Amino acid sequence: MDKLKVGICQMIITTDKDKNLEKAENMVNKAVEKGAKLVVLPEIFNCPYSNKYFPKFAESYPEGRTIKFLSNLAKEKNIYLIGGSIPERDKEGNIYNTSYTFDNKGNILGRHRKVHLFDIDIEGGISFKESDTLSYGKDITVFDTDYGKMGVAICYDIRFPELIRLMALKGARIIIIPAAFNMTTGPAHWDPLFKVRALDNQVYMIGAAPARDENSPYVSYGNSIITDPWGSIVNKLDEKEGILVEDLDLGKIDKIRNQLPLLKHRRTDLYDLKLI
């Protein structure tokens, strides 16, 4: 299939899980009404992005309420659904920032636990330490769809080019990043990261963010975005709540890779990955 209509739901997140799931369902429905066959929700969409809330809202697979909600919604609407991310608790009690992907029959295609945790302290800006509450994921998440291979990573993961390159080498042609950049890092790095990761790997990059809420404990930059294999911005939202629906020309991936064969020109005979 050479065309894929994707939808990004940029939503305000509250402390009420019921309201968050209801908002997500309403926005997914609107994206589907506009023709979207792949719909993406934001990072940590069922609770506020805060170490205070992660343990309270954490769910386990497969019995978790949000997880069942996502599966049923994907099946009901006949779509691929990237369930943003949610706090996930495993059998040992570890909590992860996890993204679940479902096919149009409600089957789980992928589970990505955030690999790189957001532990930063920027002078005059933001300080946050995910590892106070969350555990590290260990997997590269790439899966098959009717539209080709896709991959999912979460927010801070995009800053590590090795991870995104490995996803591309595993065949991912569209890489989806549920992400909540903040008002320090967002204005500086959001657009450049999505452009550069797209052009370096000649893939489509999709960034799905929460809408900005100045009263939230963590203020999201918003600006959900799609970039193409040439590194251009296809379209993006602003900081407000909204839905972005766009057609992706999947044929553009091979066209650009044939004209500018970056992946073929890699000098792996010179690269010592142990030093990288």
User: Which has the closest alpha carbon to 8: 35, 27, 26?
Assistant: 27
Examine the residue annotation and report whether 43 is marked as an active-site residue of this protein: yes
CA–CA gap between residue 175 and residue 101 (Å, rounded): 12
Q: Which of 17, 23, 37, 114 is catalytic?
A: 114
Q: Which of 155, 195, 236, 239 is catalytic?
A: 155
Would you tell me the crossing angle of helices 17-33 and 65-77 to the nearest 10 degrees? 20
CA–CA gap between residue 58 and residue 47 (Å, rounded): 9
CA–CA gap between residue 12 and residue 52 (Å, rounded): 18
Query: What's the Cα-to-Cα distance from 256 to each of 145, 149, 208, 215, 228, rounded to whole Å?
Result: 21, 17, 25, 43, 10
Q: Which of 43, 88, 130, 239 is catalytic?
A: 43
Count of C-beta atoms within a 10 Å radius of residue 67: 21
8 Å CB contact between 263 and 34: no
Examine the residue annotation and report whether 114 is marked as an active-site residue of this protein: yes
Examine the residue annotation and report whether 9 is marked as an active-site residue of this protein: no
Q: What residues are annotated to the active site? A: 43, 114, 155
